[in-house]
Amino acid sequence: MPNATILAQLGLFVRRRFLNAESCRQIRREMNEVARVPAMIRPYGQGDVVLDDKTRRTGVANVSAATTALVEDQLRAVQPALEAFFHAQSAGWQDLRFYIYEEGDFFAVHRDASPADRAAPDWAKRRQFSVSILLNDQRSGPDTEPYGGGTLVFHGRRGGPEGAWFSIPLEAEEGMFVAFPSHWMHEVQPVTSGRRYSIVTWFI
């Protein structure tokens, strides 16, 4: 994973096989069986969330409390390593979101938190580092439900605000855990085939 190595040097925390293959497949199965609602966004400079399918299109699956607890047990175990990596203390995490991206679904370039956004509500300002848990392989691999497109891409500028723009993609693996500062710019590119499954939360 050369791009994961580059991103780790920039401040990305990666843990492979955070969830084992059987857990990932059970969670995916449940996500497909339960009700879903469209994901919302909070535009920069606004306090409320809205539905905007030109900026974000994906569904949020309403999984069971048992499934949420299974993932939270793993989050609790990894929390000390995250705090050491980011040199920060955390009070825990916000509610987990279980996302299914169908073909054509995406999330445009955004930040999960921005110090400059004075209109942000408290729950957004408190975010320190964001977490994505990837539940299936991208393109190929041993997973039985790979997907195409849907790449998680990180963006930034070399040497400060006036520097050259760069973009680094991260290819997903089943069970992979990634965490990054919540002010990092990132996106999920449109899914071109299959379904992309992920779990997202934010440590505060």
Q: Are 150 and 190 in contact (CB under 8 A)?
A: yes
In the chain, where the domains are located: 2-203
The yes-or-no verdict on residue 155 having pLDDT over 60 is yes
Mean pLDDT of the chain: 93
- Residue 76 burial (CB count, 10 A): 11
Query: CA nearest 92: which of 106, 80, 100?
Result: 80
* CA distance to 7, 44, 167, per residue, from 126 (Å): 23, 15, 26
Q: Are 131 and 202 in contact (CB under 8 A)?
A: yes
Instruction: Give the pTM.
Output: 0.93
Q: Are 11 and 156 in contact (CB under 8 A)?
A: no
Interatomic CA distance for residues 132 and 98, integer angstroms? 10
pLDDT in tens, 53-109: 999 999 999 999 999 999 999 999 999 999 999 999 999 999 999 999 999 999 999
What confidence tier does 30 reach under pLDDT thresholds 50, 70, 90?
very high
pLDDT in tens, 157-183: 776 667 678 899 999 999 999 999 999
- CATH class of the domain defined by 2-203: mainly beta
The yes-or-no verdict on residue 1 having pLDDT over 60 is no
Interatomic CA distance for residues 12 and 104, integer angstroms? 27
- From first CA to last CA, the distance across the chain in angstroms is 28
What confidence tier does 7 reach under pLDDT thresholds 50, 70, 90?
confident
pLDDT in tens, 102-123: 999 999 999 999 989 999 999 9
CA 179 to chain centre: 8
- Residue 74 burial (CB count, 10 A): 15
Phi then psi dihedrals of residue 103, to 5 deg = -55, 130
What six digits make up the tokens of 124? 């957004």
